[in-house]
Amino acid sequence: MEGPPHTIDTNNINNSHDNYKDIVVTPWEVFGDLEDKMYTKLIEKFGTQAITHDLIEKFKKLIGEIHPLIKSQYFFSHRDLDWLLTKYENGDPFYLYTGRGPSGFVHLGHILPWLFTKYLQDKFGSKLLFQLTDDEKFLYNPGATRETISEYTSENILDIIAVGFNPNLTRIIIDTKHINYLYPLATEIAKKITFSTAKAVFGFTNTTNIGMIGFPPIQAAPCFLPSLIEKKPTPVLIPAAIDQDPYWRITRDIAAKLGFYKPAQIHSKFLPSLARISKMSSSRPETAIFTTDEPEIVEKKVLSSFTGGQATVSLQKKLGGNADICPVYGYLKYFFDNEKESLERYIRCKSGNLLCGECKSDLANNTKTFIIDFKHKREKAKDKVKDFMFDEKFSS
Ligand code: TRP
């Protein structure tokens, strides 16, 4: 069995290093300026790889094109993606694995990596496991009740299905419901990870509840489940925002000991909130656009967004705007503009020939159209939930 190169990924973190003190990125907290430099530092801090020109060419060779989210470097980092693509090239298909912590409604920041995951599924014909960590969110959020988390779980499933994943190739795993499929693997994983490693990787302290301390193997288990389903070591690719990387580090370090391949990853950046304070977050609902928002609310949120514009029209015309820090520009770039449109917008903004009102109105109109369509798909999803639930029949 030819696995990815041997590295110890948990050796690579040094949270106290001075160079990194302005960034905090854990699965539960993200602080930082979200500028390009921060992401370069994260690659160093986490010991991941940048997506190189060669790797992009390899993608192109296999599927004939490069996805805009790779071109724009929204997906900017990886682990062993080159290895995984070589395996695929040599006839070894891979599974996709991603997930969602159901702590609230789904917003556009969540949808973006899911759209990309669907694209990978379509292009590579991959099976996909989609995990909902209802246990994690219940344990982590002091105010959460089982009832509220269970309600968000049901709501979030509609969003996942609405993204358009292939029902024949996709299964959703709800931790508390499908625990029987995860638990045997989780205990194998848990046995190989010491508290001292978990503390260093996740920052657990003496006041962390023991549910949280025991949780990481549950998120690790779907990395190996495909090998059990297929009855042979099976490559897995995880498309996710880079804040989930700590889970994959511990998983990768014990994979070979259990006879599995290390899961490969492709890491995305974070979609900034409309206020541009850290990433878009469910805990500041006024600065995030939810798939459940009514179109008028979407419009209101977009029109009151922070922008990279100057304080007055005449200053804007004179000095130009700062598209690099502008969430409105960012959303248009990642969701709606094509490469050429985005570049033109950038140049017009920088040179003072574009005012924020125009971008806001473009974004409001595009987002409203998107949300109206997505709501229809969410409605239709209600009849499909059963087809997407994990069961033991999900094998080739
Ligand atoms: N912990 C993730 C969250 O809070 C949910 C999750 C579970 C996940 N498995 C995953 C995310 C795999 C990405 C990939 O959102």
Angle at 157 between CA 98 and CA 137, to 5 degrees: 70
- C-alpha closest to that of 159 among 375, 331, 389: 375
Q: What is the pTM of this model?
A: 0.94
- Token pair of 131 as six digits: 């995990």
Same domain, 92 and 174: yes
**pLDDT at position 281, please?**
65
* Phi, psi torsion values for 216, nearest 5 degrees: -50, -40
Residue 2 lies in a domain: no
CATH code assigned at 105? 3.40.50.620
Instruction: Measure 259 CA to ligand 1 centroid, in angstroms.
Output: 23
Among 163, 219, 238, the mutation site with the greatest number of ligand 1 atoms within 8 A of its Cβ is: 219
- d(C-alpha 52, C-alpha 189), whole Å: 32
In the chain the first and final C-alpha atoms are separated, in Å, by: 21
- 12 occurs within a structural domain: no
Residues 191 and 337 placed together within one structural domain of the fold: no
* Closest residue to atom 7 of ligand 1, CA basis: 99
> Residue 145: inside a domain, yes or no?
yes
Q: How far apart are CA 279 and CA 363, in angstroms?
A: 18
The domain that contains 376 carries what CATH number? 1.10.240.10
Residue identifier of the C-alpha nearest atom 1 of ligand 1: 101
Q: Strand order of the sheet with strand 236-241?
A: 49-50, 75-79, 264-268, 236-241, 95-100, 128-132, 170-174
pLDDT of residue 23: 79
Ligand 1 centre distance from Cα of residue 99 (Å)? 4
Say if 7 falls within a structural domain.
Answer: no
71 and 176, same domain (yes or no): yes
- Looking at the structure, do residues 206 and 320 belong to the same domain, yes or no? no
256 with 299, same domain: the answer is no
Greatest Cα pair distance in the chain: 67
Measured in angstroms, how far is the CA atom of residue 333 from the centroid of ligand 1? 25
Into how many domains does the chain fold? Answer: 2
Q: Structural domain of residue 388, as residue ranges?
A: 18-274+382-395
Which residue bears the tokens 């556009």? Answer: 108
Domain match, 104 and 184 both: yes
Q: Is residue 374 part of a domain?
A: yes
The first and second tokens of residue 94, run together, are 């891979």
Q: Which two tokens stand for residue 117?
A: 């995951």
Picking from 72, 113, 159, 110, the residue whose alpha carbon sits closest to that of residue 289 is 110
Q: Give rounded-to-5 percent helix, strand, coil for the chain.
A: 55, 10, 35
User: Do 370 and 245 fall within a single domain?
Assistant: no
Tokens of 251: 């998983």
Task: Check: CB of residue 374 under 8 Å from CB of residue 155.
Answer: no
- pLDDT tens for the chain, 396 residues: list them: 678 887 788 765 545 556 677 778 888 888 777 788 889 999 999 999 999 999 999 999 999 999 999 999 999 999 999 999 999 999 999 999 999 999 999 999 899 999 999 999 999 999 999 999 999 999 999 999 999 999 999 999 999 999 999 999 999 999 999 999 999 999 999 999 999 999 999 999 999 999 999 999 999 999 999 999 999 999 999 999 999 999 999 999 999 999 999 999 999 998 888 887 666 666 677 788 999 999 999 999 999 999 999 999 999 999 999 998 899 999 999 999 999 999 999 999 999 999 999 999 999 999 999 999 999 999 999 999 999 999 988 865
CB-based pocket (< 6 A), ligand 1: 27, 97-101, 131, 133, 136, 219, 238, 240, 244
CA distance 377 to 379: 5
* Residue whose C-alpha is closest to residue 388's, from 125, 111, 159: 159
276 CA distance to ligand 1 middle (Å): 23
DSSP states of 110-121: HHHHHHHHHHHH
- 376 and 388 both lie in a single domain: no
Radius of gyration of the chain (CA): 21
What's the Cα-to-Cα distance from 195 to each of 137, 203, 218, rounded to whole Å?
21, 11, 15
Whether 239 is in a domain gets the answer yes
Q: Based on the fold, state whether residues 376 and 302 are members of the same structural domain.
A: yes
Q: Are residues 189 and 268 in the same domain?
A: yes
Give the C-alpha distances (Å, rounded to integers) separating 271 from 2, 162, 174, 300: 36, 20, 25, 19
Residues 208 and 247 in one domain: yes
Residues 152 and 241 in one domain: yes
Residue 321 is assigned to a structural domain of this protein: yes
Q: Specify the ligand 1 atom closest to the Cα of 28.
A: 4
Residue 45 covered by a domain: yes
Q: What are the angstrom distances between the C-alpha of 394 and each of 98, 221, 230?
A: 17, 16, 10
The answer to whether the beta carbons of residues 164 and 133 sit under 8 Å apart is no
Distance (Å) from CA 238 to ligand 1 centroid: 10
